Structures are given as C-alpha cells and as structure tokens.
A and B are shown apart, each in its own frame.
Chain A
Amino acid sequence: MRLYVDNSKCSGCNACRVACSLNLFGENNPKKAALVIEPQFPAPGVYNVKVCTQCGDCAAVCPTEAIKQDEQGAYYVDFAECNLCEACVPECPEEVMFIRSKLADTAWKCDLCGDCVAVCGTSALWIAEKEAVAA
C-alpha cells in the first residue's frame, strides 16, 4: 500500500499537513508534516504535491535500522532509534524524508496512517496497493 496524489485536485489548503503532524508528533504544526505542497503561483497556477511512495530506499541506507516496516508494509521511523545522521534524506527520490533538527530530534516520514486522506475535501489523496494508480 502507498499514498497517491492527483495534483490537479489539490487546492493547497494544507489540512493534510496539519493532520499529518498531529499523527506523527501529536502537534499542530505543518512544518513537521511528511508531505509537501509546492504552490506554483501566479503561473502556472497549480499545486505540486510530494508524497512518499513507500519505496524503502530510506530504510535500506539507515545505519541504525531506525526505519522499520509495519504489518501493512509501510516504512516508519522509530524515533527512539534515529540518530539524525541524515543518510536517509538524500536517498529519498520524492524529497519527503525530513530532518529539521530545530523542530525535532528525529527524522520523520509518512507512516501511511491515512489521516491526510480523511481530511482532504477534494479527494486529491488516497491510499491503494502499489502500482494501482486509480483511486
């Protein structure tokens, strides 16, 4: 399973990012979210959304094995075991592996909790089996 996005449906509202930070950290803080919305305004007037594909490249390079897989196949960061070495960040092809040491003493990423999907009013986000592109 993985998270999918249809950029053309995103309205840039950021509800997903607040829901994400609440799930990951129990905080209202979209700067600690695991997905990115890049507004491209005034032209061409679209949002570019980056989400985790659960490819596992981050886990493969993690020297402390802090990035683990849960029963549904989602990779998540075990905060207690992350040592902020940053090896994972450049490996992420989607640029959604995060370290902001001023904000948290751990790396973080999408754990496929689905809260972003629950709050997305325009159905731009959904979770499906890998390779199944349509919602």
Chain B
Amino acid sequence: MNGYGGRILRVNLTNGTVTKEPTPPDVARDFIGGRGFGIYFLLKEVPKGADPLGPENKLIISSGPISGLMIPGGGKCDWTTKAPLTGGYASASMGGHFTAEMRYAGLDSIVLEGISPKPVYLFIDDDKIELRDASDLWGKATFAVEKQFKEKLGEEFQVAVIGVGGENLVPYACINHDYGRQAGRGGVGAVMGSKKVKAIVVHGTKSIPVADMDAYRKAGMALYKACKDSEGLKDWTRYGTTIVVSWCDEVGALPTRNFSAGSFEDGKNLYGPVMREKIVITDKGCFGCPSPCGKYSRNKKYNSYVEGPEYETIGLMGSNLGIDDIEAVAQANLLCDDLGIDTISAGNVIGWAMECYEKGIFTKKDTGGLDLKFGNVEATFTLIDKIAHREGFGALLAEGVKRASKKVGKGSEKFAIHVKGMEQSAYATHNATAMLLAYMTCDVGAHHNRAWAITYDLQVGREKVVPEKVARVIWLQNFRPMFDVLGGCRLQWVELGIDRDLYVPALEAITGIHRSWEDLDKVGERLWNLTRLFWARENEGFGRAWDMPSPRFYEEAPKSGATKGQITKIEDVNRLLDMYYEQRGWTSDGLPKPETIESLGLKAVVA
C-alpha cells in the first residue's frame, strides 16, 4: 500500500504473542494514520468502561504517511489510549526518530494489549519481533535504559522507555525517547507501566513505498525550500519554543505562581536569549526537521545534560513555581524526564501544592517537612522524586491536581488549574477568551496544542466574545491535529509560516489519493467528533460541566502584571460554550447531535 508500511503489529502481553495483520485499506483511506488510527482502534477495540490501567485498555502507537519520508517534520509518533489521568481520551504526540524507525520496520501501528505477567521489553528488528525479559531494567531511570540499549544494539535502534513514574502508575507518567523527547500527556506512560512494558526498541531497514516517486521528491524538495527560505527560520532554530517566553510574560500569558498572574516579575531570567547564552550547546532536531526546536543544554550548575527546557516546562517549572533560575528549571526538567513524569502536569500540581502551603492548607506536617514556599528549588526537586516514587506527600500529588484537590478540599479545588482532570499547560487565560475556549474544549483536557489561539486573541481583541473567535478555535482544532494524523509536525506551518497547500501534492504523491486541505479539515472534524463521543461513552453524565475552566479565570483577577485586574466574566465563559456547541452542531449540553454524526458519516464507526 503506497505511503504505508502496510502492517499493524499486535502485541498480546497477556499471552506473550506478537502477530502482524495488514493495515486495513479503508481505515487508511478514512483515518489516514497517526491520531486517526489511534481513535479508530480505541473506539473499535477498547470496550466501554475499561479500566485505563487494566488489561482491556490498549496503547496504540501510530506513525503516519509522511513519517520517515523526505518531508519536513515527518518525525511525529502518536500514542493513543484511554487516559488514566482523565478517564477520557488521550493522544500524546512524540517527536524524535521512533516513528521513522517504525516505518522502516514496515509498521504503521503497534497495539499493546493485555498485561504481561512480568516486566518485558518489545524488541523489533525488521521482521524479528520478540517480547524479552526486562526484570533487570525495571526500576531504572530512562536515560540509563536508553543508553544501555544503544550501547548493546547500536545507534540505529530507536528506544522508547518509561521511568519509575510509569512503573508506579503515576497518572501523568510519560514515555521518553531520544534523551529528551516525550509522549507526555494524559498518562500514556502509566498505561505502558500497567502493561509491564519497560521499553520498545525498534530498528528497520525497509524502504517506504510511495505512489509517484518523481512527484513526491519534487514536492518534498519544494517543502524544504519553503522552510529554508522562511524569514522565521533563523530565530526559531536559535531559540525554539523558548522564543515565546518573553512575549507571554509581556502579554500576561506566562503562568505565574499557580496561574494567579500572567506576568512574572523575575521572568527576564527565563527568557529564550538568557537560556541560549547560559546553557544551550546543540540544536537537536526530530526526524527530518529543517528547523530544530530542541535545545540541548549543558547545565554547569548541576553538572548535567538535558534537552530543553522548552517553553511549557519553563512556564510550569519556572514562573508557575516562582522560580527564576533557568538552570534550576533545566534540572527539574531532567529529573522529570529521567523519572518519567510529565513536566507540565508535575509543575502544575506542585504549583497548586505551593499555593496550598502559602495559604496554610498544608503545613510542614503535611509536606514531610518541606518548606513549600513558591520559589523553593530544592523542595521542587524533592517533590518530583517523591511523586514519581509515590512516596509520602508525593503520593497525594501523584494523583493529579483534580483528584488531589478533591481529597484535600478546603477551597483548594478553586485553584486547581485543570480541565477534565488534565492540568492546564503554560498559558494563563484570565483575559484571552479564544485560548480559554481552546483549553475548555480540547479533546484531551487543558492542553494547548490543538488550538494555539492566543495570538489570535491579541490580534482581534482579547476580551471579545464573538462568533468569529469561536470559528477560529474550531478551525484550528480541526486542522492542527491533522499533522498528528499525517505523522508530522505542525511547527513548520505555525512558526515558519509555510503555505499549507505545499503538503497537498506531497501527500497525493505519497499515498496516491488526492486530498485538498478542505478534505483534510473535514477528516479533522470527524476525528474531533469521535473523540467527543469517546468521552461521552466512557463517562456517565458527560457534558457541559466537563468543559468548564478553573474558576481562577473567571473569579480572581491577577493582582499584578499585564493582566492585572482583568478577568473573563462567567457569562462570557457560558456564551463561548453556547456559540461553540452551536457551530459544532452539538447540543446545548455539548454532545454531537444525531444529525451531526450522520452528516459526518460517523454512524458506522460509533455503532
């Protein structure tokens, strides 16, 4: 099948068997790959009510048709599962070189099923595929395990590995790869841990077939040329995602002290150029990327190496904790990566704990003696370790901010910053209504990448609540995740501003199927509705209440910074949802109407 490896690998961990089946051509046609395959298999194969950490849940790992090819950014791997963090849909996108290597081994998806009786790792070397004993790796940190595999098997092998966070089923445990790339959000690492799979190693030497070789090479070259000609290439490559730290600080979007403000008085110490100057040594790219945002750092203060920190980690582990030392943030980043927990969720929940401590809800008696004031670097390091090991006070924070705040009570739920149980990523949304709506309605919980609408807020008036804004969020939500479907990265479009139409001839030459962006946006809309239906299927009473943001954004205006005194009114929060549901063709409770399901041709999928 052109553009595909042509095989789905099923790994039954309960029985210890591995089998390959052909990639169904109709699924490839309708769902294309990546996230599309993920939600298709999730809906079809994971039974209603499955325990996210039980044998019925599956971990679906998918490449897409541009992965591993001469197309800019073709290095994204999708990890879909029922999320232990939220009880809903999870799809985490991982960069690096894993997805390309899967394709060279002829695999479009790997589906992990059941639970292994003992720790194992999945070994894939072209057609030699085995489950191997991993007892000696269990308990080890991610970097050490990756290094051990690379030394034993060679650099051509790609490694995805969980840390002790995943082993201990921390619901925001991540999966690590390439010393610094992660499938980060929703607890995909905990699902892998529940299945007792420590690592997946993959190596392939096969060629990926395409429909029209000459047209594909021409289209691929045109895409690279557009990237290299882009005005934004130089600065984006120099600073990566840290380029936005200063902007966010200036406009009041930088989460500060548990999102109580959007500007940090010491934020300048965390800006991209400061980090570049102080610690960055190498620009580290994912597969096929002409504009590498990975900044690899040598951290002299802590005598360590780490990829990053990236913007999200700077926001959550830096300003959100009142920490203004970029080397401390980099070290927190390293600890999270090595222990296998998501920096975004961890930084968010530690921020909540610090606020609880400063408000007297926690005392040293609760925290195991930690002086949990904002800005305490050592306490942050200690907590990261305790969370991953579920030790002492860390065990509470390991629950995630929603469950922890519910347990603790005393009003702390009001400043638990999450949507649907997923900790909000690093944009403060007191007065940025499109971005707020993007978080409220994101298909995995409060994550930014489906609709990064905050620049649009600034363009059209941040407090405005108008149908055009809602339409913009919907368009972004339909369109941006399509890069995850294709197995590629959106940042060449977002940051380099290349014409998205350049992908159209490339995709056609690869798969032999013509798809305009109008067609692709439609696929995105279908997937968005399917994920919504998954949430509703798995959660009784699912609806509007699940889309509400943290009260912090409609009840408590920041006392300082660029958004001082600014807030989104609760009436506007509700108006945003009303308009959103109407434009989506959903009921006033936020569920896809039968006619919407029908018109999108989804009846058969959800039957």
Contact = CB atoms under 8 A, between A and B. Distances in A.
Contacts of A12: 284-285
A29 B178 CA distance: 20
Contacts of B89: none
A30 B285 CA distance: 16
A14 B73 CA distance: 11
A74 B147 CA distance: 38
B156 A13 contact: no
Contacts of A131: none
Nearest to A32: B207
B287 interface: yes
A120 interface: yes
Contacts of A122: 237, 283, 285, 290, 292
Contacts of B237: 121-122
B282 A29 contact: no
A22 interface: yes
A82 interface: no
Contact of A22 (B75, B206, B217, B294): B217
B179 A121 contact: no
Nearest to B296: A45
B69 interface: yes
Contacts of B143: 42
Interface string B91-103: 0000001001000
A27 B282 contact: no
A129 B296 CA distance: 32
Interface string A21-34: 11001111111100
Contact of A11 (B104, B205, B207, B289): B289
A87 interface: no
Interface stretch (B42-50, B188-196, B223-231, B443-451): B223-231
A15 B290 contact: yes
Contacts of A42: 143, 147, 179, 305
B1 interface: no
Nearest to B221: A118
Nearest to B510: A28
B27 to A, nearest CB: 22
Contacts of B220: 119
Contacts of B210: 28
A120 B290 contact: yes
A42 B228 CA distance: 28
A15 B66 CA distance: 13
B289 A43 contact: no
B373 to A, nearest CB: 32
B207 A121 contact: no
B170 interface: no
Interface in A1-56: 8-9, 11-15, 18-19, 21-22, 25-32, 38-39, 41-47
Nearest to B147: A42
A31 B205 contact: yes
A80 interface: no
B353 interface: no
A28 B67 CA distance: 11
A28 B224 contact: no
A27 B206 CA distance: 9
A13 B289 contact: yes
A122 B233 CA distance: 9
A18 B305 contact: no
A121 B227 contact: yes
Contacts of A8: 282
Contacts of A44: 305
B466 interface: no
B231 to A, nearest CB: 14
Contact of A38 (B155, B217, B233, B292): B155
Contacts of A132: none
A15 B227 CA distance: 13
Interface string B57-94: 00000000000111010010000000000000000000
B70 A43 contact: no
B282 A46 contact: yes
B494 interface: no
Nearest to B203: A31
A9 B291 CA distance: 12
B207 A28 contact: yes
A118 B221 CA distance: 8
Contacts of A11: 282-285, 289, 292, 294
A117 B292 CA distance: 16
Interface string A73-115: 0000000000000000000000000001011000000000001
B153 interface: no
B463 to A, nearest CB: 39
Contact of A45 (B221, B289, B291, B305): B305
* Residue with the highest number of chain B CB atoms closer than 10 Å, among A41, A118, A122: A41
Contacts of B156: 31
B213 interface: yes
B476 interface: no
B402 interface: no
Contacts of A102: 205
Nearest to A27: B207
Contacts of A103: 205
Interface string B282-309: 1111111111101011100000010000
B523 to A, nearest CB: 24
Given A103-B205, A121-B292, A41 B70 contact: no
B473 interface: no
A15 B224 contact: yes
A41 B179 contact: yes
Nearest to B288: A15
A61 to B, nearest CB: 27
A28 B289 contact: no
Nearest to A38: B155
Interface of A: 8-9, 11-15, 18-19, 21-22, 25-32, 38-39, 41-47, 100, 102-103, 115, 118-122
15 contacts: A11-B284, A11-B285, A13-B285, A13-B290, A15-B288, A28-B208, A29-B207, A30-B104, A39-B155, A45-B284, A103-B205, A121-B224, A121-B237, A121-B291, A122-B237
Given A14-B100, A28-B70, A41-B179, 15 more contacts: A11-B285, A13-B287, A15-B289, A18-B68, A22-B70, A29-B205, A29-B207, A30-B100, A32-B207, A41-B178, A42-B179, A45-B297, A102-B205, A119-B221, A120-B290
